[in-house]
Amino acid sequence: MNKPVIYNFDEATGVATIQFSRPGVLNAVDLASAQAFNVAVMAACEARARCIVLTGAGNAFVAGGDVGAFAANLDDASGLIHGLLDAINPALVALRKADAPVLAVVRGPAAGAGLSLVLGADLVLASNNAIFQIAYDRLGAQPDCGGTWFLERRVGRGRAFGLMFTGKRLSARDANAYGIVDEVVEDGELDARAQELASKIASGPTAAYGRFKKLIDDAPACSLEVQLEAERSAFVAATRSADFSEGVAAFAAKRPPQFKGR
């Protein structure tokens, strides 16, 4: 039986790859893949991965939830939703709390829950054939998997409402203009560019990246005074790290730093 999610950790680079692998249904998320995703995320965090890559097998990233499963269990759709989100939500929280930057690598459709996963990534690399759509409006529902938390942060309030109320599909170039995608490449270049970018991120000061993620996430709810003190505390913590010592030594020696992620 094929695994619905494939997890790989490269100890040499510190890159963990989590691939949704139900290509026959465009990697739509069912209960088994939600649970496997949770296991993979926790494994990446336990391994102290230095970059976590989210991607999909075949010609799609993730085309949303498995609507066929909803159709087959319409009388207990709420129970199915609880099961899915009981697995996915803790994984999403773990990804936000992880020091490792999360890189979404997208080809083909990223819709519904797939778009929410993209929005929750720290960086998004897309093939020129990628397509992005909220899609929940077609089911008479609204985003889950963090979509309502991340969307406004990525695109702004007005565009968030526009995407939901109109069901607009965005090309990779449109998504780049909206701020959903950070870089667009030709489809044939996607895998090589993803590997290059993940390796570069994983060679960086991972603990500092984690503090940066928390500062950015907390900033909208903080006054300037509170944020300034949070920055102070984070910088003081950085000065106690091996990576900070290495960074200072490398700067003084005019050589590239060799960070260890701690």
Q: Is residue 169 in some structural domain?
A: yes
246 plus 222 within the same structural domain: yes
Annotate the chain with three-state secondary structure.
Answer: CCCCEEEEEECCCCEEEEEECCHHHCCCECHHHHHHHHHHHHHHHHCCCCEEEEEECCCCCECCECHHHHHHCHHHHHHHHHHHHHHHHHHHHHHHHCCCCEEEEECCEEECHHHHHHHHCCEEEEECCCEEECCHHHHCCCCCCCHHHHHHHHHCHHHHHHHHHHCCCEEHHHHHHHCCCCEEECHHHHHHHHHHHHHHHHCCCHHHHHHHHHHHHHHHHCCHHHHHHHHHHHHHHHHCCHHHHHHHHHHHHCCCCCCCCC
193 plus 223 within the same structural domain: no
132 plus 243 within the same structural domain: no
155 plus 38 within the same structural domain: yes
103 plus 144 within the same structural domain: yes
172 plus 186 within the same structural domain: yes
Question: In the chain, what percentage of residues exceed pLDDT 90?
Answer: 89
pLDDT band at 211 (very low <50, low <70, confident <90, very high): very high
Q: Is residue 262 in some structural domain?
A: no
46 plus 128 within the same structural domain: yes
Task: Please give the pLDDT value at position 1.
Answer: 61
pLDDT in tens, 64-115: 988 877 777 777 778 888 999 999 999 999 999 999 999 999 999 999 999 9
88 plus 60 within the same structural domain: yes
Q: Is residue 33 in some structural domain?
A: yes
Range of the domain at 220: 206-253
pLDDT in tens, 26-36: 999 999 999 99
111 plus 221 within the same structural domain: no
| Domain tally, the chain | 2
212 plus 197 within the same structural domain: no
Q: Is the pLDDT of residue 47 over 70?
A: yes
pLDDT in tens, 131-169: 999 998 888 888 999 999 999 999 999 999 999 999 999
Q: Is residue 219 in some structural domain?
A: yes
Q: Is residue 170 in some structural domain?
A: yes
179 plus 102 within the same structural domain: yes
Q: Is residue 221 in some structural domain?
A: yes
